Amino acid sequence: MSDRALEQDESLLIRAARDFSRAELLERDRKWDRLDGSVTEILPKLAEMGMFNLMTPEDIGGLGCSYRTYSAILQEIAYASPSTAVTISVHNMVGLVVDRFADPSLRRTWLEHWGDSKNFGAFAISEANAGSDPGASLTKANRDGDNFVLSGEKMWITNGLTARWFVTLARTSPGEGKAGLSLLMVDGDSKGIDRTPIHGKMGIRGSETAVIAFDDVVVPASHLLGDEGAGLSASLTALDGGRIGIAAQAAGIARSCLDEMISYAHEREQFGTKIAGFPAIQKMIADSHVELAAATELIDYAAWSKDSGRGDWAASSKAKLYATEAANRIAYRAVQLHGGMGYVNECRVEQLFRDARITTIYEGTSEIQRVVIARELLKSS
């Protein structure tokens, strides 16, 4: 993305993320993909780089990044490791929920240490029967004096095996539909929490994904995030910001694919000439470049919209929809351009093609983004 309007220190941060990601993440990400390993092996290193404190306000010790800087950093991280990008994105999104919705005294307690890898966060909304429709969540939190008692099962939880904190959507008032849902900050060290890894993912294999079972877990009532009964709207607010993170992840993957395409086009010869000379290859590269440029502009606009308080709700959805679908088209072309080499894991584009696939699914599928965008358009005309 263009960083012309960013402050100098923000540009330095983006450059540091670029250098770090290319030097420290690229090879590790390849290993995690092959061995089903996990980015959690380098959590302390990521914390040291400030990656867990990107969005935490400066007066509580965070880096206080704008969304524009944040999304640029995530693009740099995703370029080398899409798994690391989503890991960082989810943790920072959870921090933003705490910042906005936590009880003031707990907010400070939690955020003061948010940059520490021991306070790793996860966002637990989805359930087996509640994905695109989180309002159908069945996990319940019954009031018992000064506590809630939480029971139920969350599915697909990124960072779920190692997280200390789970921002969890639960039903606090049965029979009240969506208005009966609340958000709770659940301490992963509490009794009654069981974590089961989900193996066999198509891509982002370095990112943890888990089923989290809560069995009568005691959660202090003060851990309510926002008002009781307002959990669904708080979750959707968080996801609106999170979508910028996933769009950035997709753009990072797309840029990586494009660089691989250009490099291979210069290297590979057929019919006695470099394939870069073939118009069909040039079209793949040119189309990919333009789609990536459009994606980064949409991401930058969505980020600016948030930073400026303009609050264009559909901007994040537009950025996510376009960037993630473009990343999949670009990854498809990257495999095609590499021919048979693109089909084997030795070649990085094979992994990028698989990594790109999740981006149109999590934090709201493409179909759900279209619902959000169309709803806005139909409302205003």
Ligand X SMILES: Cc1cc2nc3c(=O)[nH]c(=O)nc-3n(C[C@H](O)[C@H](O)[C@H](O)COP(=O)(O)OP(=O)(O)OC[C@H]3O[C@@H](n4cnc5c(N)ncnc54)[C@H](O)[C@@H]3O)c2cc1C
Residues that bind ligand X (CB under 6 A): 90, 123-126, 131-132, 156-158, 201, 209, 358, 361-365, 367-368, 371
Q: Which amino acid is at 132?
A: S
Q: For residues 157 and 166, is the Cβ–Cβ distance under 8 A?
A: yes
| Cβ proximity to ligand X, 147 vs 233, nearer residue | 233
Q: Which amino acid is at 247?
A: A
Q: For residues 331 and 253, is the Cβ–Cβ distance under 8 A?
A: yes
Q: How far apart, in whole angstroms, are the C-alpha atoms of residue 349 and residue 341? A: 9
| Cβ proximity to ligand X, 132 vs 270, nearer residue | 132
**Distance in Å, CB of 156 to ligand X, minimum:** 3
The tokens for 271 are 């019919």
From the number of C-beta atoms within 10 Å of its C-beta (0-12, 13-18, 19+), residue 221 rates as middle
CB atoms within 10 A of CB 174: 10
Q: How far apart, in whole angstroms, are the C-alpha atoms of residue 123 and residue 157? A: 7
**Distance in Å, CB of 78 to ligand X, minimum:** 15
| Cβ proximity to ligand X, 5 vs 378, nearer residue | 378
Q: For residues 128 and 152, is the Cβ–Cβ distance under 8 A?
A: no
Of 365, 174, 138, 349, nearest in space to 254 by CA: 349
The long-range contacts involving 63-68, CB below 8 angstroms and separated by at least 24 positions, are: 63/13, 65/10, 65/13, 66/6, 66/10, 66/303, 66/307, 67/241, 67/244, 67/302, 67/303, 67/304, 67/306, 67/307, 68/5, 68/6, 68/10, 68/300, 68/303, 68/304, 68/307
The tokens for 44 are 């302390």
**Distance in Å, CB of 59 to ligand X, minimum:** 28
**Distance in Å, CB of 201 to ligand X, minimum:** 6
Confirm whether 127 is a catalytic residue: no
| Cβ proximity to ligand X, 90 vs 258, nearer residue | 90
Q: How far apart, in whole angstroms, are the C-alpha atoms of residue 36 and residue 49? A: 24
**Distance in Å, CB of 91 to ligand X, minimum:** 10
Question: For 67, phi and psi rounded to 5 degrees?
Answer: -60, -35
Find the catalytic residue in 76, 228, 260, 363: 363
| Cβ proximity to ligand X, 14 vs 125, nearer residue | 125
Residues 6+ apart with CB under 8 A from 72: 1, 3, 6, 14, 17, 248
Residue 309, SS3 per DSSP:
coil
* Residue of closest CB approach to ligand X: 131
| Cβ proximity to ligand X, 10 vs 127, nearer residue | 127
**Distance in Å, CB of 75 to ligand X, minimum:** 19
**Distance in Å, CB of 365 to ligand X, minimum:** 3
Q: How far apart, in whole angstroms, are the C-alpha atoms of residue 255 and residue 323? A: 11
| Cβ proximity to ligand X, 323 vs 337, nearer residue | 323
- Catalytic residue positions, numbered: 363
